[in-house]
Amino acid sequence: MYKIVGKIKLAEGIDRFEIEAPLIAKKAKAGQFVVIRVNEYGERIPLTIADYDSSQGIISLVTMSIGKTTYMLSKLKRGDSIRDVVGPLGKQSEIERFGKVICVGGGVGIAPVMPIAKSLKNTRNYIISIIGAKNKASLILADEMKEISDEFYICSDDGSIGFHGFVSEKLNELLEDSEKSSDSDLRKDINRVIAIGPAPMMSAVCSVTKPYSIKTIVSLNSIMVDGTGMCGACRVEVGGETKFVCVNGPEFDGHKVNFNLLMLRQKMYLNEEKKALDLYEEKCGCKMLEQKNGKTC
Ligand SMILES: Cc1cc2nc3c(=O)[nH]c(=O)nc-3n(C[C@H](O)[C@H](O)[C@H](O)COP(=O)(O)OP(=O)(O)OC[C@H]3O[C@@H](n4cnc5c(N)ncnc54)[C@H](O)[C@@H]3O)c2cc1C
Ligand code: FES
């Protein structure tokens, strides 16, 4: 059992959990993830290690409630326990001195981009962060991202905070401006873009950076089951080859990823997922939507 020693609500439907997991905290590196099971009968779901403190033996997970398991997780409180936490899994991020790196985070994707940005900052890279959310109320970790960034931009789909538009549009604007700038070093120095968020967002970011030939790393959120390379559930196509996100990733060269296939595979179990949530809500006697509106069960 893994004890929850802290829980903070970051935004509506987004929680940050601090979990006692000393062995994982000791080994964790930026970019890696864990697979958790809320209880003995629970589904296994992958979650990125948003932060880790090896001296305290604690890892942080940031979760967005979008279905049965993440909804069950959101109901746990400080002092409760999670049945299984397996990890750290996946390859760690490539952390080197690249020069200027643009870190792009969308929605709950801001949480996994943060430890990567932090490690890159500690390796003396110049960090330009672009983070975005649907609106001001659902934006998370803005202060923390600002603190580790040399340049910092916020975007919102509805314009309620920062730039009115998608993170990919802000990125496009920055790259266009740097093209026009007399300071030709500006774009030349941008050696890497890291983008984490929903698949359509990562795909859009890759379309923006491709004409500039800026290496773009994305972290893929495919469906996973075992997380150890055995079941094949997480397969994706990268550069025309089949790769397993859990062992070959989760980070890949975004310009080589077949995003259409990824998005198709993400929708594979929509009916089953809806059924599982409906059954759970029936049993629990309250609707996820009602909880979002402030009613609790
Ligand atoms: C490497 C990796 C890291 C991730 N990190 C985070 C994170 O830090 N925070 C976060 O909130 N989410 C993260 N996700 C996504 C998270 O795993 C899904 O949101 C979660 O599994 C949804 O489960 P559910 O039962 O609540 O929803 P469901 O109703 O079961 O599913 C909703 C959607 O979530 C995705 N999903 C469902 N089951 C899985 C599964 N077993 N594996 C992967 N995706 C699934 C599907 O696209 C599905 O349409 C990550 C996914 C991967 C692959
Ligand atoms: S989750 Fe089973 S092979 Fe990757």
Summarised one tens digit per residue, pLDDT across range 67-84 is: 889 999 999 999 999 999
Cβ of residue 35 lying under 6 Å from some atom of ligand 2? no
Strand 33-37 and strand 45-53: the pairing is: antiparallel
Q: How far is the CA of 183 from the centre of ligand 1 (A)?
A: 42
| pLDDT value of position 177 | 82
> Would you state the pLDDT for residue 238?
97
What are the tens digits of pLDDT across the range 209-244?
Answer: 999 999 999 999 999 999 999 999 999 999 999 999
Q: What confidence score (pLDDT) does residue 183 get?
A: 58
- As a whole number of angstroms, the distance between CA 128 and CA 103 comes to 6
Q: Is the CB of residue 60 less than 8 Å from the CB of residue 17?
A: yes
- Using CB atoms within 10 A of its CB, is residue 155 exposed (0-12), middle (13-18) or buried (19+)? buried
Q: What is the domain partition of the chain in residue ranges? A: 2-89, 100-219
Per-residue confidence (pLDDT) for residue 219, from 0 to 100? 96
Regions of the chain with pLDDT less than 70: 181-188, 285-297
Q: Tell me, using a 6 A CB cutoff, whether residue 203 lines ligand 1.
A: no
Rounded distance from Cα 129 to ligand 1 centre (Å)? 24
Beta strand 190-196 with 216-219 is: parallel
Please give the pLDDT value at position 142: 96
Per-residue confidence (pLDDT) for residue 137, from 0 to 100: 93
Nearest to 90 by CA among 50, 48, 59: 48
For domain 2-89, the CATH architecture is Beta Barrel (2.40)
pLDDT at 297: 46
Cα separations in angstroms, 265 against 28, 56, 103, 198, 262: 28, 38, 26, 14, 5
pLDDT of residue 116: 95
Distance CA 208, CA 216 (A): 10
Q: Give the per-residue pLDDT at 296.
A: 46
A 10 A CB-CB count for 148 gives 18
* Residue 239 region by backbone torsions, left for phi larger than 0, else alpha for psi between -120 and 50, else beta: left
Pocket lining: 64 vs ligand 1, CB cutoff 6 Å: yes
Closest CA to 238 of 216, 267, 208: 216
The CATH number, out of the four listed (2.170.130.30, 1.10.1370.30, 3.40.50.2300, 3.40.50.80), of the domain defined by the range 100-219: 3.40.50.80
With the CA atoms of 60, 64, 66 and 67 taken in that order, what torsion angle do they form, in degrees rounded to the nearest 10?
20
112 lines ligand 1 (CB under 6 A): yes
Tokens of residue 104, six digits: 């792009």
Q: Does this chain's domain 2-89 share its CATH topology with 100-219?
A: no
Select from 268, 40, 248, 14 the least CA-distant residue to 135: 14
- CB atoms inside a 10 Å sphere around CB 165: 16
CB of 190 within 6 A of ligand 2: the answer is no
Task: Check: CB of residue 277 under 8 Å from CB of residue 68.
Answer: yes
Residue of 66, 113, 274 to mutate, ligand 1, most atoms within 8 A of C-beta: 66
